[in-house]
Structure 1
Amino acid sequence: MNPVSEKTQVIVIDPSPHAVHQRNERNMADIPIRFRMPESAHGKVEARIASDSSDAQWRTIGSIDGASFEGQLDSVPVGRYRIDVRLSASSSESDKPVVASFSVEPVFVGDLWILAGQSNMEGCGKLLEVETPQEGISCFYLGDRWAMAEEPLCWLNDSIDPVHRITPTPQHPDITDIIARQNRTKGAGLAIPFAKELLKHTGVPVGLLMCAHGGTSMEQWSPERPGDTGTTLYSAMMRKVRKLGGKAKGCLWYQGESDANEKAAPQYRERMESFVAALRRDIGDDELPFIYAQLSVFYISGREAETWDRIREEQRLLEDGLGRAAVVPTIDATLTDPIHLDAPSLKEVGKRMAWRALSLVYGIDAAEPGPRPIDFSWNDDRTELRIALDGVNGRLRPVRYAFGFAADHSGSPLPVTAVVPDEGDCLLLRFERSAPEGTRLWHGNGLNPAVNVKDERGIPLLAFGPILL
């Protein structure tokens, strides 16, 4: 068998430039090495990692006896690398020891974060003054390709999974790939701001796995939904995770708008619990971090505000029920259209998710989660209600009147005003008359509430209610 010429083109399958390989509990990862040759070869395959500071020793990772090779570099520490690979022929076959070689860079060992949910996770902000790409933040796009993360992250028609692809029709030719790329004006999201905040605080490279799809419900995300791999949202997501080694650091989730209706809302909590349980089971991590956004505002009248409120309240309560999970408020967001967050709001939500991840996953106290109610106590005649808060960064910002609160009893509204006392660690709600037993209280209720209770970090009071008092 003749050795392959040094000039022969090696077809590299793995690793890919900008790929992020999920580190294990020892802060290391095994990096797969796969390539094909245009003709059969025989010899030893060696590889090494090269960083900015030094080049490691060559390691033998296997031998080739044919036209393809599969092996791996074991136990590569967290960081950025160039991967060098060379094929050496046996001395009996050639005077030249190295007959083929290639290098791939940058290749990272770091953390993978799944991006799932519907359109606000895809990103619908205007593509103006978007986040600039940054090395060390990569995206595994829907087309199963690694690249530096750059807005927009979501291109549905690039997907190799049929569930994501949109078929153009004569009536809607504007969704064809070429026209969409020429005319697209929206697509900025929360994921790159999230990743930048993580990288700034940890120095660990971040890989983003885009799996979101706009307009989708929890029923569509069900792990039990029948269909072949790639024909359902859950199976397409897990196919991507398994292709990258089957592990991830955590999941970011933004969804709920499609379930804010009379039919779906009653099943929302159960479906969310089933989804998270299946995700943790299939990744093999019972404590996989799950960080999700609470439902925001909606600029369209006519929808039932009660179901919108119900989804928000279920999301608030799920935080304790899901274990290693965190809910992020979005009730103060501004929109780019009737339902989608604009780019500045998505940047802020991405940072809030990062702050929760830093605390929950990395043990870094970058910020408190933001104000949320932990106790309700009345004065003697039930005309003043004190709401004790947890998670406040510093203190509440002073305001003359606190907006966004509503109360009723047996369906009849109860006039109430709210203030932030000087100490800034609680809220006082004052009723015109004694509030009867069974009074219900909301914060941020309705489709488009006006709210202004925020802490010094700018994080708003989590929407809640109805709470029975």
Structure 2
Amino acid sequence: MRNLLFSALFLTVSPVIALAQSTLPAGLSPANFHLYMLAGQSNMAGRGKVDSLDKTPHPRVWMLTKNNEWVPATEPMHFDKPAVVGVGPGLAFGKQLAEQNPNVFIGLIPTAVGGSAIDAWQPGGYHEQTKNYPYDEAIKRVQLAQQSGTLHGILWHQGESDSKPELAAVYEQKISQLIGRFRQVFGSPAVPVVVGTLGDFYIVKNPAAMQINAILTNLPRHMLRVTCADASGLTDGGDATHFNAQSARELGRRYAKAMQALERTKP
């Protein structure tokens, strides 16, 4: 009942939400402002140690802040758990895309929520740790961003919270439905989606994660315009769960390479 009531309230109030004052360059057209949604749980939000490199913005890579304002992108971009948030793959992803296409600006939309299971990524889905609704909040933020730019892709990194035999058994169905729902709600039925596999270190810690990785790797075989960024060979920050900063940046570059390959294919 709570989920239904919240969804109804969300649909009622969402039209009045607006972007805060923005500092985007004057004259930037939506066609040249390429938007990318960063979704999932903590490894997309980022837990790597922030360095000076991560505080150096690229002039054509921007992010949507918690207050719905466009600013030059720097780490940490996410705000799900302020005490632990750090370097994730998003900024390196955006910088690589910008470097390889000097004619566009990149807009990154942080929406990941650490610890969120895929069940929280459905309408009305509630996440107890952060006391929020990951899917509903993400939808609001992406739709706001679409006022300024054009959605060009979705990045997804999630699965640790579903790395249990009973949850992994239904993960393929749930992530397929989620991707379809994203595409429908954003009015972009062929938007490219890149999913990322879980780290090798996490599989050593939790062998059930092997099933999640198998599903993520296999997803492009039955969904169009979906591909997988392989996280194999990357390292953790000491907790056997989260990528360290160097590996998070490398994962971002792998996401960028996978996204560029999808964008070159016709819908």
Q: Output one character per residue of 1:337-376: Cα deviation in whole Å (capped at 9) or x when no partner.
A: 220001111111111111111121146xxxxxxxxxxxxx
Shift of 1:130: 3.2
Q: Output one character per residue of 1:216-248: Cα deviation in whole Å (capped at 9) or x when no partner.
A: 111111236489xx9521111111122233651
TM normalised by structure 1 equals 0.47
Give the corresponding residue for 1:201: 100
Instruction: Answer whether contact 1:289 1:324 (CA < 8 A) is retained.
Output: yes
Q: Does 1:292 align with 2:215?
A: no
> Aligned with 1:335: secondary structure?
coil
Shift of 1:129: 4.5
Q: Distance in 2 between matches of 1:269 and 1:355?
A: 24
Instruction: Answer whether contact 2:60 2:106 (CA < 8 A) is retained.
Output: yes
* One-letter amino acid of the counterpart of residue 158, structure 2: Q
**Correspondences of 1:48-197 after superposition (within 5 Å):** 76=29, 109-131=32-54, 132-156=56-80, 180=83, 187-197=86-96
> Aligned with 2:200: secondary structure?
coil
Give the corresponding residue for 1:455: none
Give the corresponding residue for 1:359: 261
CA separation of 1:14 and 1:223: change in aligned 2, threshold 3 A:
closer
Q: Distance in 2 between matches of 1:320 and 1:113?
A: 23
Shift of 1:144: 1.6
Instruction: Answer whether contact 2:43 2:242 (CA < 8 A) is retained.
Output: yes
Q: Does 1:16 align with 2:22?
A: yes
CA separation of 1:301 and 1:324: change in aligned 2, threshold 3 A:
closer
* One-letter amino acid of the counterpart of residue 290, structure 1: V
Residue ranges of structure 2 left out of the alignment (5+ in a row) = 1-18
**Correspondences of 1:70-469 after superposition (within 5 Å):** 76=29, 109-131=32-54, 132-156=56-80, 180=83, 187-203=86-102, 204-223=104-123, 225=125, 231-245=132-146, 248-298=151-201, 303=206, 305=207, 307-336=208-237, 337-362=239-264
Instruction: Answer whether contact 1:223 1:278 (CA < 8 A) is retained.
Output: no
Instruction: Answer whether contact 2:154 2:193 (CA < 8 A) is retained.
Output: yes
Q: Distance in 1 between matches of 2:152 and 2:21?
A: 20
> Aligned with 1:156: secondary structure?
coil
Instruction: Answer whether contact 2:197 2:229 (CA < 8 A) is retained.
Output: yes
> Displaced runs of 4+ in structure 1, greater than 6 A?
none
Q: Distance in 1 between matches of 2:202 and 2:118?
A: 22
Same amino acid, percent of matched pairs: 27
TM normalised by structure 2 equals 0.81
Q: Per residue, is there more strand in 1 or in 2? A: 1
> Aligned with 2:39: secondary structure?
strand
Q: Distance in 1 between matches of 2:143 and 2:58?
A: 26
* One-letter amino acid of the counterpart of residue 198, structure 1: L
> Aligned with 1:126: secondary structure?
coil
Instruction: Answer whether contact 1:222 1:271 (CA < 8 A) is retained.
Output: no
Q: Per residue, is there more helix in 1 or in 2? A: 2
